Every structure is written in structure tokens, then in C-alpha cells.
């Protein structure tokens, strides 16, 4: 054993260092790995914060866009008006299904245009169609709702545009929930016509849009005319 130790120390120091493990290098390597892991963790945390901030920004942006309920309501009214313009003449609804004691058919023949079926045809699926709409920036201070023909042609942020489309679809659902009964009755009465949907839905029923000063003026003019006629 002593001979072995003596032989070891007779070996040149350079060879002894090569034979023995370099613990200083091992320690330095461990520290380097640890630092790299810490850097990765820091970068991941920063990325998570960035994603969180971006999500908040998009949410606030969408909330701000729907804050203009008048513009959103007008977009829904525009889509409803398009559906009315695409309507084709349909036969009256024959509801005479019941037979009386003499064998005569009893019931009504209902004009399709004033029927509940027409209301369903117009309003059912309306809010799903609003998913084809998104908010487009016109200038630095103005945005407007547009109907998208092809989402692949969109040059703006598609994720944000899709988020807007879902939001206006949800808004449409809330709008109809508030106004559907009255709107249905007005449709059946023939009071909702092409060119007047926005006024009926957004001004008269939901009150999401204020009447323009011109409309107020015309109302006053009508009252003046009636007063003059009475005189």
C-alpha cells in the first residue's frame, strides 16, 4: 500500500491532475446549468404575464366595442333586413284540421306574412348569422360592424376578429331576449318593413339608439301640421 502511494507521488503533477477528476469544473458546470434553468423559468414567467396582459387587452377592447350598443343593434337590424329582402311569396297556412259534427273542416286560413311561422323563419338562426360580422377599424377614432364574406381574406388580426363575431352574436341573443315578444307582434302586424327595421328594433323597442334630432323635428312638424289643420 505504501509503495502504491509512493508511486503515485512519483508521477509528474501534470499527469496526476489529468488522472484525478476536476471538481472545480464540475461545480462550475452545475452552476451554469442552474443559471440556464433559472433564466428559462424567468422567461416562461414573463411570457405568461405577456399572454395575460394581451388577453385582458383584447377583452377590454371587445367590451368597449359592444359598449356602443347602438352600432351593434344596427348591425343586427341590418341582418334581419337582409333576411326580409330575401323572402319569397309563400302560400297561406291552412289551419282547418278539425272536423265539426257535420263533417265540415273548421279552423282558419292564415296569411303567411302575419303568421307565427314567418316570425320563426326570420328570427330563428339570426344570431348565428351574426357570427359572420366583425368590428373593423375605419380610422383612429371610429370602428364599424361589417359582414365578412370570406374570413381568409381578412387582413386584420383574425383571432381578435373572431372574438368580435362571437361577442356580437351573444349580444344579438340578449337583444332578442329583451325584445322578441314585441318584435314578433310588430312583424305579424306588418309594422316592421324593409328600411325601418333599425328604427323599430334599436330606437322603439330596445332603446339602444336615440332618435335623431331630425326625427324629433319631423315629429314636431307633424304636430304643427295637425294643429294648423284643426285651425
pLDDT digits (tens, 9 = 90+) for 34-64: 777 777 777 777 767 766 555 555 444 444 4
Q: How far apart are CA 132 and CA 127, in angstroms?
A: 10
Contact 171, 163 (CB under 8 A): no
Taking residue 14's Cβ as centre, other Cβ atoms within 10 Å add up to: 8
Q: How far apart are CA 21 and CA 4, in angstroms?
A: 19
Angle at 120 between CA 170 and CA 66, to 5 degrees: 20
Give residue 61's pLDDT: 47
Contact 118, 190 (CB under 8 A): no
Q: Where are the beta strands (DSSP E) in 101-141?
A: 105-106, 109-110, 133-139
- 166 phi, psi to nearest 5 deg: -70, -35
**Burial zone of 121 (CB within 10 Å; 0-12 exposed, 13-18 middle, 19+ buried):** middle
Positions in the chain whose pLDDT score sits under 50: 4-5, 7, 9, 58-65, 213-231
HSE-CB for 196 with a 13 A CA cutoff: 11
Exposure string of 171-205, with b = 16+ CB inside 10 Å and e = fewer, is bbeebbeebeeebbebbbeeebeeeebbbbbbbbb
Amino acid at each position: 500500500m505504501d509503495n502504491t502511494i509512493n508511486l503515485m507521488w512519483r508521477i509528474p503533477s501534470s499527469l496526476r491532475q489529468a488522472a484525478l477528476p476536476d471538481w472545480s469544473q464540475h461545480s462550475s458546470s452545475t452552476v451554469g446549468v442552474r443559471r440556464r434553468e433559472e433564466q428559462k423559468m424567468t422567461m416562461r414567467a414573463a411570457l405568461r404575464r405577456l399572454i395575460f396582459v394581451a388577453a385582458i387587452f383584447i377583452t377590454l377592447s371587445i367590451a368597449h366595442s359592444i359598449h356602443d350598443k347602438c352600432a351593434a343593434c344596427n348591425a343586427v337590424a341590418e341582418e334581419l333586413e337582409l333576411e326580409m329582402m330575401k323572402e319569397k311569396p309563400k302560400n297561406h297556412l291552412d289551419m282547418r284540421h278539425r272536423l265539426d259534427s257535420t263533417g265540415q273542416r273548421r279552423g282558419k286560413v292564415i296569411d303567411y306574412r302575419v303568421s307565427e311561422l314567418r316570425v320563426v323563419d326570420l328570427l330563428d338562426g339570426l344570431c348565428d348569422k351574426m357570427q359572420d360580422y366583425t368590428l373593423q377599424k375605419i380610422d383612429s377614432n371610429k370602428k364599424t360592424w361589417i359582414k365578412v364574406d370570406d374570413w381568409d381574406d381578412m387582413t386584420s388580426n383574425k383571432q381578435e376578429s373572431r372574438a368580435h363575431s362571437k361577442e356580437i352574436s351573444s349580444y344579438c341573443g340578449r337583444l332578442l331576449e329583451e325584445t322578441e315578444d314585441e318584435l314578433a307582434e310588430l312583424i305579424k302586424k306588418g309594422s316592421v318593413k324593409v328600411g325601418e327595421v333599425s328604427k323599430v328594433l334599436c330606437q322603439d323597442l330596445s332603446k339602444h339608439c336615440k332618435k335623431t334630432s331630425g326625427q324629433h323635428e319631423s315629429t314636431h312638424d307633424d304636430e304643427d301640421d295637425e294643429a294648423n289643420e284643426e285651425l
